[in-house]
Amino acid sequence: MRVERGESGPTLCPTTLSSVRLAWPFSFRRVPGSPPQQGSTRMQAMLKQRSGVRAAQPGRRAVQIRAVAAPVKAASASKTPLVTPEVAKDLYYDMVLGREFEEMCAQMYYRGKMFGFVHLYSGQEAVSTGVIRLLRQDDHVVSTYRDHVHALSKNVPAREVMAELFGKKTGCCRGQGGSMHMFSAKYNVLGGYAFIGEGIPVGLGAAFQSKYRRDVLGDEKSDSVTCSFFGDGTCNVGQFYESLNMAALYKLPHIFVVENNLWAIGMSHLRATSRTSGDHDPHIYKKGPAFGMPGVHVDGMDVLKVRQVAQEAIERARRGEGPTLIEAETYRFRGHSLADPDELRSKEEKARYLERDPIPQLKKYMLEHGLATEAEIKELEAKVMEVVEDSVKFAEESPKPERGQLLENVFADPRGFGIAEDGRYRYQMPGFSSGTAIVS
């Protein structure tokens, strides 16, 4: 653990994955009114350092964390690039797609093409791209209502996502899900949940299935993993803790990805979450070791760092070593939703994070390391605009669902609609459904 002084105050470099593993056997036996007893001099030294730092800076309120992922590398100083040109271009394309798509959503919403609750991801692209572009098609992703970009990173076609947002029948959920409920059986996106915290146990279930397939059904190749994405607010919901416990208990191939953007609507993370013992601020990643899994903090505005951390977590999970908790420090450039006036966040905070925009960061990296030329980058951006504009055109021109679609897909077994007057099952009556439900 190191404590550095940054330009605007002390910053905290949290532990890397491997050193967190070493740090597990700490036990704090608390006696009320007295400081915690620890067995390790390393911990004592660290606490002393930090309390000294705190004493030197009274009244510091803002969370200032410059996070480093393992292995520790200053990206621009190194000569060898961390990724190949193909990977870099894929990452860049995906982040720009996420950004342009979300910005287009904002435009469409204010033009009345989209309605209801829409929560945009602008600014957080590095987390979605950094984690999901490492996954295979058979890996699962679960998210909350801020799920458009997770679906896009998982390869759900932009056309289908946009049409879904417009409420058209060509949408990925035929207009029945909407912004907050993106599902794709083909790409294994298991939602899209409005209730934060609800998705995490569902994600554990998909990971459970992967392990069950190997242990019980005898499929030795079964090593798919599941990533659940959620925010800092979710980390106070009971289902989060229940899930941490069970993921570690059952050693599930599941990765908890906390997108800590410091705000849950208008509630600051600092006001909502208690501080972890011995810290100035609440640290979510530290809750991992309490449940028996590594907890890692990463700079969520740097896609390459996120990718490094995610890579290690995914490989751990595939090897059968169990779950990981990743806390990505990130920021949403827009309000909680398109209806949020976003009055509580300070201009200074927004400006600070705008400077760390992940897309220009990656662009700079690619140019400096010769991973792409200016022309190639412009080509990628042009391609994205083409895809996004095409998706809007497609959504506009697509038909709305017919009224008959209302009753479809309530049950997989259409017999669930009961028995008709003549004694036959209702689904057997002609014209009951246009045949989307499959009877097993």
Partner 1 sequence: MTVRDALNSALDEELARDDKVYVLGEEVGEYQGAYKITRGLLQKFGPDRVKDTPITEAGFTGIAVGSAFAGLRPVCEFMTWNFAMQAIDQIINSAAKTLYMSAGQINCPIVFRGPNGAAAGVAAQHSQCFASWYSSVPGLKVLAPYDAEDARGLLKAAIRDPDPVVFLENEILYGQAFPVTPQVLDKDFTLPIGKAKVMREGKHVTLVSFSKMVGYCLKAADTLAKEGIDVEVINLRSIKPLDKDTLIASLKKTHKMVTVEEGWPQCGVGSEVSALMMEHAFDELDAPVLRVTGAEVPMPYAANLEAAALPQIDDIVKAVKSIA
Q: Which residue in the set 32, 238, 341, 430 belongs to the binding site for partner 1 (CB under 8 A)?
A: 238
Positions in 79-108 near partner 1 (CB under 8 A):
none
Q: Which stretch binds partner 1 (CB under 8 A): 34-42, 245-253, 285-293, 360-368?
A: 245-253
Neighbours of 126 (CB within 10 A): 30
Positions in 249-278 near partner 1 (CB under 8 A):
249
Residue 230 pairs in a beta bridge with 258
Q: Among residues 122 and 170, whose Cβ is nearest to partner 1?
A: 170
- Does 230 help bind partner 1 (rule: CB under 8 A)? no
Q: Among residues 113 and 214, whose Cβ is nearest to partner 1?
A: 214
Q: Which residue in the set 176, 268, 276, 311 belongs to the binding site for partner 1 (CB under 8 A)?
A: 176
Q: Which stretch binds partner 1 (CB under 8 A): 89-97, 174-182, 325-333, 365-373?
A: 174-182
333 closest CA partner among 353, 348, 313: 353
Q: Are the C-beta atoms of 255 and 130 separated by less than 8 Å?
A: no
- Does 174 help bind partner 1 (rule: CB under 8 A)? yes
Q: Among residues 94 and 164, whose Cβ is nearest to partner 1?
A: 164
Residue 43 pairs in a beta bridge with none
Query: What are the residues whose beta carbons fall under 8 Å from the beta carbon of 22, sequence distance 6 or more?
Result: none
Q: Among residues 412 and 429, whose Cβ is nearest to partner 1?
A: 412
Q: Work out how close the CB of 233 gets to partner 1 at its nearest, in angstroms, rounded to a whole number.
A: 16
- Does 177 help bind partner 1 (rule: CB under 8 A)? yes
- Does 16 help bind partner 1 (rule: CB under 8 A)? no
Window 141-160: contact mask with partner 1 (x via CB under 8 A): -x------------------
Query: What are the residues whose beta carbons fall under 8 Å from the beta carbon of 117, sequence distance 6 or more?
Result: 145, 179, 180, 194, 337, 339
* Tokens matching residue 380: 């990628």
Window 399-428: contact mask with partner 1 (x via CB under 8 A): ---------xxxxxx-xxxxxxx-x-x---
d(CA 146, CA 337): 9
Report how many residues bind partner 1 under the rule CB under 8 A: 60
d(CA 267, CA 45): 34
- Does 175 help bind partner 1 (rule: CB under 8 A)? yes
163 closest CA partner among 142, 177, 150: 177
Crossing angle for the helix pair 85-110 and 158-165, to the nearest 10 degrees? 20
Positions in 178-217 near partner 1 (CB under 8 A):
181, 183-186, 190-195, 198, 200-210, 212, 215-217
Q: Which stretch binds partner 1 (CB under 8 A): 79-87, 88-96, 235-243, 363-371?
A: 235-243
Q: Is the peptide bond before 199 cis (omega within 30 degrees of 0)?
A: no
Q: What's phi and psi for 123, nearest 5 deg?
A: 110, -25
d(CA 319, CA 244): 19
Q: Are the C-beta atoms of 123 and 333 separated by less than 8 Å?
A: yes
Q: Are the C-beta atoms of 230 and 181 separated by less than 8 Å?
A: no
**N-terminal to C-terminal alpha carbon distance within the chain:** 56
Q: Among residues 69 and 248, whose Cβ is nearest to partner 1?
A: 248
Q: Work out how close the CB of 420 gets to partner 1 at its nearest, in angstroms, rounded to a whole number.
A: 8
Binding footprint of partner 1 on the chain (CB under 8 A):
140, 142, 173-177, 181, 183-186, 190-195, 198, 200-210, 212, 215-217, 238-239, 242-243, 245-246, 249, 408-413, 415-421, 423, 425, 436-438, 440
